[in-house]
Amino acid sequence: MRILGIDPGYGITGFGLVEGSRNQYTLLRCGAITTPAGMDFSARLEIIYEDMRQLLEVTKPDVVSIEELFFGQNVTTGIGVAQSRGVILLAIRQAGVPVFSYKPMQVKQAVVGYGNATKHQVQDMTKRLLGLSAMPKPDDAADAIAIALCHARSSTSLLSQVYN
């Protein structure tokens, strides 16, 4: 199964394409969609949407896993990320690819085995699961890879088989 993980953002949207089957995972591609800070916000959303459409066309994932939003202290930033996530979801929907959303705690639980794991612990375990010598950059791409691994590990659990 080819899983495209997405860490949504409006300045940087990370992505990671992972191939997974029976606890064997391979990183196929990763990177980031970026937009210039000074650009009109609607133009930034257009870039994210068009780049996401192209990414889906090129990578041809079986599924997409995307992080759910967590609104911390800065609600204004959260609203912008929510708008970015919206155009990403639209592109995925138009491509006809199934999409699964995961909360940050679910990603940590699936990758590390502990829902309150630190960012460093998630990156270290991601690196181990994929047999990488170093974690890919930027951090948004690394986060997206962890989101893809979350789906790979969650979708093969016995619980998901019972409820599907």
Catalytic residue (one of 50, 67, 139, 143) = 67
Lowest-pLDDT choice from 3-7, 17-21, 89-93: 17-21
pLDDT at 164: 36
Catalytic residue (one of 7, 51, 57, 143) = 7
DSSP string, the chain: -EEEEEE--SSEEEEEEEEEETTEEEEEEEEEEE--TTS-HHHHHHHHHHHHHHHHHHH--SEEEEEPP---S-HHHHHHHHHHHHHHHHHHHHHT--EEEE-HHHHHHHHHS-TT--HHHHHHHHHHHHT-SS--SSHHHHHHHHHHHHHHHHHTSHHHHHH-
Please indicate whether residue 51 is annotated as part of the active site.
no
Residue 109 has pLDDT above 80, yes or no: yes
Read off the pLDDT of residues 50-88 as tens digits, 9 standing for 90 and up.
999 999 999 999 999 999 987 666 666 788 999 999 999
Residue 23 has pLDDT above 90, yes or no: no
Please indicate whether residue 46 is annotated as part of the active site.
no
All domains in the chain, ordered by first residue: 2-163 (3.30.420.10)
